Each structure stands twice: as structure tokens, then as C-alpha cells.
Amino acid sequence: MSAPMTVSLATLNAAQRKAAETLEGPVLVLAGAGTGKTKVLTTRLALLLSKGHKPASLLAVTFTNKAAREMRARAIKLAGTAAKDVWLSTFHSLCARILRKEIEVLGWRKDFSIYDDSDQESVVRGVLKELRVPGAQATPDVVRWRIGQAKNRGWDADQMAKFGGEEVDHIAARAFEKYQAGLKARNAVDFDDLLTLTVRLFREHPKVLEKYRKQFRYLMVDEYQDTNAVQYEIVRSLAGEHRNLFVVGDDDQSIYGWRGADHAHILHFEADFRGATVVRLEQNYRSTSAILEAANELIRHNAARHPKTLFSKLGAGTPVRMVMLYDERAEALWVADQIKTSARRRSHFAILFRTNAETRPFEEQLRLARVPYSVVGGQRFYDRREVRDVLAYLRLAANPHDDAALARVANVPPRGLGETSMEKLDAFAASHAMPLVDAFKRAGEAGLAPAAAESAKRLAGKIEGWKAAAKTSAARGAREMVEELDLAGELRREGGSEEAAEARVASIESVLNDLAAFEGQGGDLRGYLEKVALLDKDEPEEEQKEAVTLLTAHAAKGLEFPVVFVVGMTDGIFPHRRSAAEEKGLEEERRLLYVAMTRAKEELILTRPEQRTSRGKTAASPPSRFLVELPGHISREAPGTREITADEAAALDAKIQAILSGGGKGGG
């Protein structure tokens, strides 16, 4: 018989060790940013295995496949091959595994299919057709997404109709039951059903629930602050009477409320599980003291949180800097110059944004500076579909004979010019040696159906009008063109989350603002399009692996970089205007900035433009209200010049507060 395995705790600090060694009863580990939560989780798994518990009796769940793989690899390193048989996965993988064994009692066969977004849209499309819902009222993608949101909240069709505030919610509620029936008829489930059907299984079949409660004697949950209503119920159901539930999380890093996560679950853990042991992990192994002091002071302003104060033994480090620049272009130019002139490796730098729509000026300046970069969690600005579409329309306004541009947007937004119509128009243009736009003018001769031919002629006429308007004012003409086409409305109707749709609309707005700024400097439409085209030519070589990382604060969670720039620190951007209207939303925005700040290991720089261009007009941009919540001793620098004195900093703070309270004007 082999000797019992031993697990070393020598590398754990006192708090980590207490968390790992508390094996019985409910345990809440409040793991601040960079405090080693994965180390605690995997050490605890190894300890349980070392005490003879069967791998199949241990369940550990997290939120991403990447996190699950990392946790398993670490557990195997600590505990050996026995860790391979631990139930360690994402919530969805866990539920899929259970349903493969048990779903027949709910009326599905065990060989059910899991439908992806495209499959789901196909079912929804059929339902909307059956309900005779016009496409202008609700697209299949919008309805699919709204049904998914309802499922994540644990709502049925009646609750969806009751709590939904928009017409599309009521349409989705009408479609809900028919959609579910359609899935079941196909012996299929969608991604959200994996969770909701597991909840239903446990509710309706107590013997099945008891079977899994007996199997899983120890349950561990990572990132507990990110659980939604359905995941929360699954966890509570499985914890059962043995109550051996070990959760790790940080309410200060709960940033996914918009997709159903409810950080009240971690706040109420002690009420849900009486007698729980609470362990705070506060020693940060990532950042310097200067960065943590600023982050601690910021998050202290949130009321709904467990108090904790991060500290570091890595030294004071470089003071946090707050830098104000003249406008967005000056901000991007300054950041690009700081990176280009630094002796650090390019991969040491990250630029964090509130939304992807803000990347354009930074991508532009990095390209011009020949600094390689990569965009995480989204396409490069000029590769985004909505940006390419609006640029194609601008190219047509500058040159109606641009066949490639016309072909791209002929049916954007939809105007009845599908693939068959375009083939006929292309063939007609080729046979008559004419530009495609002229073929559009003679679409009836090209053999198109009357409605499609009329649509093509109408578009050709509009292009001529846009060309004339652009000669008078490129910026005004472009904005009128975009409004006439209702490109923003079309993006909102396409579906997906409201935040994603607004980000795409903001990308179009960014192009229009950039064109207005270019025209304001004496340029015209042709010159602007040439500038954009040349930016593509200036793209850094792909083989250059040393690149600056551009990403949103949401996408940055779980990552770290030696130097972090958090840019666009103005009210309405960070915090975002949609979230700052109520205290709950404002607190989540503050948590998001906290996450952004704690990504920095050695240097943290917060920047903001004093003025912004919006809808073609440049105006003072109020500073983020979060800036006045930072410690008074952080370095404040005037726009692109020098570090200001303590007296100037105090005066600046007073001015910012006056602006935020409505007592002043300008951007500080």
C-alpha cells in the first residue's frame, strides 16, 4: 500500500493557509486582486485528495475553460494523476455532463444536440414568422438574445412579459414557449438551457438531486461574485445539508451585472450559510504599494462591499500619475509617444478603455509611430464591419465609380439587393463596360425584379446627392448621409446586447468625429480617405511579437501588465453615461475602474482629454467623478507639459468638484 500523499503549505501565507486548511463547513474566501486565489483552490483540492477523499466526490466549478484547464494542471502538479478524476469544469460543462445522464426524465433523449447561436436564430426565425412579427419590430438575433437574458435571470415567459420594459421584450415573451417547444421537438437545447434544465431537474426530481448531493461531498466555486440567479440556485441545491461549500471571489471585482451576474450572492453568503468561516486574502503579489493605495481609496467609496485593504511587500514603486491632455488626439499622441520613447519592451504596455469604440485615435497614433499593437477581445478599429461600411459609403460620396465600395454596401442596410440581383448588375456592368453605379441606374434593363430595380435606382440617385453634399462640407454631408441611411438604427435592430450595439454605433460616431476634425484642419473627404488608406499601409509587420496590448477594462480582468494606461477618464465615458444614472450602476463602474487599476504591476497612468468631439462639435469634457476619489498625493500633470505642484493639484481637485456639482464650466 502506497504511503499517503503529503501536500506542502510552505509557500502559502497565513491567510492562504487558513483558507486551504479549512475543509469542513461553508467557507467564504474574499480574494482581493492578485492575492493568489487559484493557488488556494488547488492546494485545497490537493489536501482533500491527500486525506483519502475520492476524486469523484470533489466538485470544482469556474467560469471559463481556460481557468478550468489552469486549475486542473496545477492540481495535478500538486496531487498527481488522482486530480484528473476530480469533477473540475465550467458551470455549463458540469450541467451538460449531468444532463447527458439524467435528461430523459425531462422529456429529451440523451443524445440531445446543443444549438449554437446560428441554430437558435433559425428556430427563432420560424417562430417569428409563425407569430407574424414584422422584421422591423424584432430580428431573430434580438429575440434570441432577450430570451437568453431571461433564462439567465431564471425567468419564464410570464415573468419576461411582466418585467420587460421594451416592446421587443413582449415579442420575445410571446416567442419564448414556441421557441422552447421548437428546441424540444428537435431534441435540442441551447447554451442557457444547460443551466435552466439542470435547475428544473433538481426541483422536479428530488431523488436525482439527492444522488448528486451524496456524490459531491465537497463543492468549490471560483469567481463566486459572477454567479447569476440560475448558477446560484445550482450551487445552493448541491451544497445541501453537508454544507461543505467553499467559494472564492471578490465583490470588488464584480463587473458583469449587464449579463446577469449578481454580486449580492457573495455579499449575502454569511446569511445564506450560517456559521460560515470568512477568510480575507489581502496581500497582493502583483502591484506596488502606490498602485494599491490608489485602488483601495477608490473602491472604499462603494457601500455594497466586504471591507478589505490590499497591501504589498513589493515596495512603494512609481507614483500613480493622472495626466490631462488637450483632446482625444493629443491624449493618444502623448500615450503613443510615452511608449515609443520608453526603453521597456512593447509587450510591457497595456492601454485600457471603457469601450472598444475609443480605440481609433490610439490605433492611429501607434500605427503612425510604427509601434506594433494587438487588440484583445475585439477587432482592430478599421477592420470592424460597421467602420468598413461607413468608409465604403464615404468612398462612394467621394467617387461614385468605386465599384468595390458599392458592392460592399449595396444591401447595407437591407434594400432587396441580394446575391442574385448583384450578379445580374455585375454582369450588366461588365457587358456594357460601365461603372457599377451606372448599371444601378439601368437596373430594369439588367433583369432585376421591379422592386429590386427601383431600390437600385434609388440608391444610385442618393449617391449623386451625397457627392454634391460632400463638396460643400464633408463632415456635415457624411453625418446627414449616415442619418438618412439610419445605420445606427440598423445596428441596434440587428440584436445582441445593448452595450455591444451601442459600441458599434459609437464606432461610426468616431469615424464621423475624426472626419470633422480632419476637415477642421483644412482637409477634405478625399484627403481623409487617403489618410485612412495609408494607415493600413503603415501596419506593423505581423511577425513582430513585441506588441502593445489594447483592450477594454472588462477584457482585462485576470490579466496583468507592468505598465497600464487607463484612458478616456471623463464623465460619460468612465463612468459610462448609461450606468451612472443610478447608484447600483455607478458602483459597478467604480468596480470596473478598480479592476483596470489593479492590472498594473509597476506603473499606472490615468489620462483624460480636456475636450472631446461629439457629433461634429468640440466641447469641454467633464473629468471622471472617480478622479476626485483618488488619493490627493498622486502625481497630477498638466496637459503634456510638467508635473504640477501640490497647491495646483489642490486647486485642480476643487475645480473638478465644482464642475461635477454644476458650479463650474470647462474641462479643468
SS3 605: strand
| Cell reading at 52 | 483519502
d(CA 127, CA 175): 6
Neighbouring residues of 26: CB distance < 8 A, sequence distance ≥ 6: 239, 243, 244, 245, 246, 269, 273, 275, 276, 277
Catalytic residue at 643?
A: no
Q: How far from chain centre, in Å, is Cα 312? A: 29
Q: Is 223 labeled as catalytic in the residue annotation? A: yes
Q: Using CA atoms, how far apart are residues 427 and 446, in angstroms rounded to an integer?
A: 8
Task: For residues 84 and 86, give the distance between their C-alpha atoms in angstroms, rounded to a whole number.
Answer: 6
Active-site annotation holds for 130:
no
DSSP states of 261-329 = --THHHHTHHHHSTT-EEEEE-B-SSS-HHHHHHHHHHHTT-SSS-----B-SS---SPPEEEEESSHH
Which of 37, 39, 380, 608 is catalytic? The answer is: 37
C-beta separation of 659 from 623 below 8 A: yes
Active-site choice (22, 38, 277, 618)? 38
How many angstroms separate the CA atoms of 123 and 156, rounded? 18
Catalytic option among 408, 591, 599, 612: 599
552 is catalytic: no
Rg (CA), the chain: 28
Amino acid at 498: E
Q: Of the candidates 298, 346, 355, which has an alpha carbon nearest to the alpha carbon of residue 322?
A: 298
The answer to whether residue 16 is catalytic is no
Local structure of 254: helix, strand or coil: coil
Give me 330's grid cell.
493629443
* Structural contact between residues 279 and 18, judged by C-beta atoms closer than 8 angstroms: yes
Cα–Cα distances in angstroms (integers) from residue 35 to residues 394, 469, 553, 620, in the given order:
50, 58, 19, 40
Q: Which of 141, 169, 222, 250 is catalytic?
A: 222
Q: Is there a catalytic annotation at residue 617? A: no
Cell matching residue 439: 448599371
- Exactly one of 102, 121, 141, 223 is catalytic; name it: 223
Amino acid making up residue 82: A
Neighbours of 640 (CB within 10 A): 14
Catalytic residue among 90, 139, 149, 253: 253
Name the nearest CA neighbour of 373 among 211, 529, 551.
551
Residue length of the chain = 668
* Active site members: 37-38, 222-223, 253, 599
